Amino acid sequence: MEKSLQPGNHSVVWKLIIEHIIYFIKDDIQKKKFEQEALKFCQRLWKEEKEMSTFGFNKFTKEIIDTLMQLLRDGERDESTIYEYEKEELWFYDEFQSSTEQDFWRNFDAETDDGELNKMISDRVQLIDKILALSERLDQHEMRTKYQRIKLAIYRKVLFRPNFVGYNENKKEMIKKSVEQLYRDLGEKERIAEFLESLLSSWIVHWEQWGGGAGASEMSLLARERTIRGILQLCRELNKQKLYRRFGREAIIFYEDLWREEVEEMDTRRIKKVLCEIKDLASSVEDYERERHYQDVYKVSC
């Protein structure tokens, strides 16, 4: 095992060797012994890399510090050693984020595939959350504030981007809540209302340009649906009753068009959802005749 982990293996191979040997060793004593050897190897490799004039904040050096920290935390947990390396880890991740930030924004602006965008956002937020957690543990308050603002900037840009469809934790309604919480954490609660007003204005522009007009085909169906739902939710939160009635009626038209065009392809669950949306929207804008009509359609269809 020791020969396998010689410094000459400065490629992805060394990490695979460590992972596979740890996985396949069944004897606990032997596994613990190898983990100690692997930790010493990683510590030596980290020291050597840091002393090199060509040291870079890249995926290779990231693999070293990540593996080193994992072995430390899974081992005997020498808290003083962990603390010292956590300072190194925070230093590395701060520099790593800074050195890749321009590429992130350039790729973010250029990417058009929602799947790739979601992965890009998730990976970046995961990196920032790691820095935030380290900043908290090491009492680095200025660093924590810095990365709260970086996270806020990413989330705001995602929310104001037209035609973006978020998955899981990247859904716009979830990101909106995260932005509000970040403002609270930063002691800037008073900025939430201004942010919501700005977001509402932006989403209305998106809807009018791509969602509800002649250019509707340029905006994906799911993006259009989430945009109009988001507009209505913001109107409720900001108590904008006139705007709610206006866009409530537009939402009814959107769902009626959806119903006519796609009802043959909808399963029962989707049919119920669309009909319930139209009924609830009609009720909310006091269009009781339409509400009764779709109540009857619901009974027949479901």
Mean pLDDT of 247-252: 96
CB neighbours of residue 273 within 10 Å: 12
Q: How confident is the model at residue 83 (pLDDT cuts 50, 70, 90)?
A: very high
Q: What is the pLDDT of residue 213?
A: 46
CB 230 within 8 A of CB 173: yes
Per-residue pLDDT for 290 more than 90? yes
Mean pLDDT of 128-148: 98
SS3 of residue 215 by DSSP: coil
For the chain, the domains span 203-302
Q: What is the pLDDT of residue 205?
A: 95
Mean pLDDT of 96-116: 95
Q: What is the pLDDT of residue 76?
A: 74
Alpha-carbon gap, residue 178 to 154, rounded angstroms: 11
Q: What is the pLDDT of residue 4?
A: 52
> What are 58-82's pLDDT values in tens digits?
999 999 999 999 999 987 778 999 9
Half-sphere exposure of 146 (CA within 13 A, CB side): 10
Per-residue pLDDT for 263 more than 50? yes
Mean pLDDT of 240-262: 93
Using alpha carbons, select from 13, 67, 12 the residue that is nearest to residue 3.
13
Lowest-pLDDT range of 25-29, 51-55, 119-123, 210-214 = 210-214
Residue by residue, DSSP assigns 12-65 as: HHHHHHHHHHHHH---HHHHHHHHHHHHHHHHHHHHHHHHSTT--SSHHHHHHH
Per-residue pLDDT for 32 more than 80? yes
Q: What is the pLDDT of residue 300?
A: 76
Q: What is the pLDDT of residue 11?
A: 54
Average pLDDT along the chain: 90
> What is the percent of the chain where pLDDT is above 70?
93
Q: Tokens 């669309």 label which residue? A: 274
Q: How confident is the model at residue 1 (pLDDT cuts 50, 70, 90)?
A: very low
> What are 139-182's pLDDT values in tens digits?
999 999 999 999 999 999 999 998 889 998 889 999 999 999 99
Q: pLDDT: is 118 or 13 the higher one?
A: 118
Q: What is the pLDDT of residue 215?
A: 44
pTM of the predicted model, to two decimals? 0.87
Per-residue pLDDT for 130 more than 50? yes
> What are 180-226's pLDDT values in tens digits?
999 999 999 999 999 999 999 999 999 998 755 434 555 688 889 99
Per-residue pLDDT for 9 more than 70? no
Q: What is the pLDDT of residue 219?
A: 65
